[in-house]
Structure 1
Amino acid sequence: MTHPYLQFAPHPRVLAHRGLVTPDEASAGVAENTLAAVAAADAAGARYVELDCHLTTDGEVVIFHDQKLTRVTGDERRVRDVTLAELTAIMQDRGGLITLADLLVAFPELRFNVDVKVPEAAEPAGRIIAPHSDRVLLTSFDESARLRALAACRAADGSPATSPGRTVMISLVLALALRQSGRVRRILASLDALQIPVRMSGINVFTPRLLRAAHEAGVEVHIWTINDVAEMRRLVALGVDGIVTDRADVALRALG
């Protein structure tokens, strides 16, 4: 059965990568993964928003991508070394910090792809997501963090959609290459989507064989991070279910 996260929404799916920050908004100082970026994606008509989360030193799950604040704010500290109040003040003129809990309440019509960036954020993120899990996909590059977040969510009576971490994805690509169909089916059985790049480290991750196997198992394939319209259209023509993009506004116009 299709998870509610993937029901009743446009296809192909456009996932706003870290929200939406247009060049004009970026020049005005708006950063990714902020309240302003999510609001912009919502205003552009995106139904799916991909975001990342970390844990502050006082235990708050916040929307932020990097472990350190440097790239976004110039501050050399890590997210886990600042309080919610400190980070809120730092992000005030950059689009506004938002916690995961506030995000899910503030945008009740949006579906969120939540990427857990550090293990310590996994369990609290899972608990926060539980009441909203019908419109959340949980993932992490760190497979152990993904599984911990899922377990915490399920323990709180939530059942989110999920896509695999790096090690599971590598196992799937290897099983496909070796034509281990039973292993491929077992890997896909617990997943709702594969969210992958076209290639990584010179290796093709997205292939017709992967797409076919995923679809036979009822699993969607979403490709990141695609900003070129011709490439978006090429992938959709091949049968890809979703495009993760920094320019959701452009993608919605091109694929609508």
Structure 2
Amino acid sequence: MTHPWFEGTATPRVLAHRGLVAPDDARVGVVENSFAAVAAAHSAGAPYVESDCHLTADGIVVLFHDDDLSRVTGDPRTVAGVTVLELERLMAERGGLITLAQALDAFPTMKFNLDVKAADAATAVGTTVAPYGDRVLVTSFSDARRREALAAAQTAARGVRPATSAGSSTIARVLAAVATRSDRLLARALTGIDALQVPERRGRVRIVTPRLIAAAHRHDVEVHVWTVNDPDDMRRLVRLGVDGIVTDRADIALGNLS
């Protein structure tokens, strides 16, 4: 059965990478993964926001990509080393902090693709999204972290389990199965997986190929490619058969892929 996260939205899916920060917004200090960036993606009509989850010192899940604050705020501390109130002050002139709970409540029609960045955030992410599982996809480079978040959501048992995309070790198994043309190994690797979210290439190695897309589709698994900002590349990948584009410029993608 198709998970509700995939229903009601046509492919190719446009996933707003860390929200949307257009050039004019960036010039006035708005940053990625801020409340303003998520609101801009929503206003542009993006049905999905791809974001990242960390845990503050006082146990609040926030949308933030890096382990530390230096690149985004100039503060050298880690996300785990500050309280949510401290982080709110740092983000006040950068588009505003947004917690995971706030994102789910403030944008009730939006679906979220959540990457669990920190090991200590996995359980908190799962319990936070449990009531909203129909519009959440959980992922992580770490399959263990991804599974921990899913288990926490299922333990809370307050709705539909979140959808999920494969972590790095599962993707490696999928690629090996595709290379050896083993549908048995492929089926085993894709058990419980709803999507493969991958870059088009890793160095000189091409990951997204017609064979991979066909193999995933045979098992009712979608292929989403990150992070694609050039309209020509977006259209080329869609022609190849990918189901979703993760992009910093959801506004451009929506205008070119609709």
TM range (shorter): over 0.9
1:47-126 equivalences in 2 (<5 Å): 47-126=47-126
Q: CA deviation at 1:211?
A: 0.3
Q: CA deviation at 1:20?
A: 0.2
**Residue 22 (structure 1) aligns with:** 22
How far apart are the structure 2 equivalents of 1:201 and 1:81? 34
**Residue 172 (structure 2) aligns with:** 170
Which residue identity lines up with residue 180 of structure 2 in the other structure?
A: L
**Residue 148 (structure 1) aligns with:** 148
How far apart are the structure 2 equivalents of 1:120 and 1:201? 30
**Residue 225 (structure 1) aligns with:** 227
How far apart are the structure 2 equivalents of 1:253 and 1:230? 12
Structure 1 residues 101-139: Cα deviation after superposition (integer angstroms, max 9, x where no partner): 111000000000011001100001000001000000000
Q: Secondary structure at the residue paired with 2:220?
A: coil
TM-score scaled by length of structure 2:
0.98
Which residue identity lines up with residue 131 of structure 2 in the other structure?
A: P
Structure 1 unaligned regions, length at least 5: none
CA contact (8 A) 1:119 1:144 kept: no
How far apart are the structure 2 equivalents of 1:122 and 1:146? 7
Which residue identity lines up with residue 57 of structure 1 in the other structure?
A: A
Aligned alpha-carbon RMSD (Å)? 0.8
Q: Secondary structure at the residue paired with 1:26?
A: helix
TM-score scaled by length of structure 1:
0.98
Q: Percent identity, aligned pairs only?
A: 56
Q: Secondary structure at the residue paired with 2:245?
A: strand
Task: Specify which of 166, 179, 182 is matched with residue 180 of structure 1.
Answer: 182
Q: CA deviation at 1:172?
A: 0.9
Q: Does 1:196 align with 2:198?
A: yes
Structure 2 unaligned regions, length at least 5: none
Q: Secondary structure at the residue paired with 2:193?
A: coil
Q: Secondary structure at the residue paired with 2:115?
A: strand
Q: CA deviation at 1:178?
A: 1.8
How far apart are the structure 1 equivalents of 2:10 and 2:200? 22
**Residue 238 (structure 1) aligns with:** 240
Structure 1 residues 170-206: Cα deviation after superposition (integer angstroms, max 9, x where no partner): 1111121122220101111211111111011321111
How far apart are the structure 1 equivalents of 2:253 and 2:19? 13
Which residue identity lines up with residue 185 of structure 2 in the other structure?
A: R
Q: Secondary structure at the residue paired with 1:54?
A: strand
How far apart are the structure 2 equivalents of 1:37 and 1:97? 10
Which residue identity lines up with residue 168 of structure 2 in the other structure?
A: R
Q: Does 1:11 align with 2:11?
A: yes
CA contact (8 A) 1:189 1:217 kept: no
How far apart are the structure 1 equivalents of 2:92 and 2:136? 26
CA contact (8 A) 1:137 1:160 kept: yes
Figure out how many residues of one structure are paired with residues of the other and give that number. 256
Which residue identity lines up with residue 116 of structure 1 in the other structure?
A: V
Q: Secondary structure at the residue paired with 1:42?
A: helix
Which residue identity lines up with residue 45 of structure 1 in the other structure?
A: G
How far apart are the structure 2 equivalents of 1:128 and 1:101? 7
Q: Secondary structure at the residue paired with 2:238?
A: helix
How far apart are the structure 1 equivalents of 2:71 and 2:10? 34
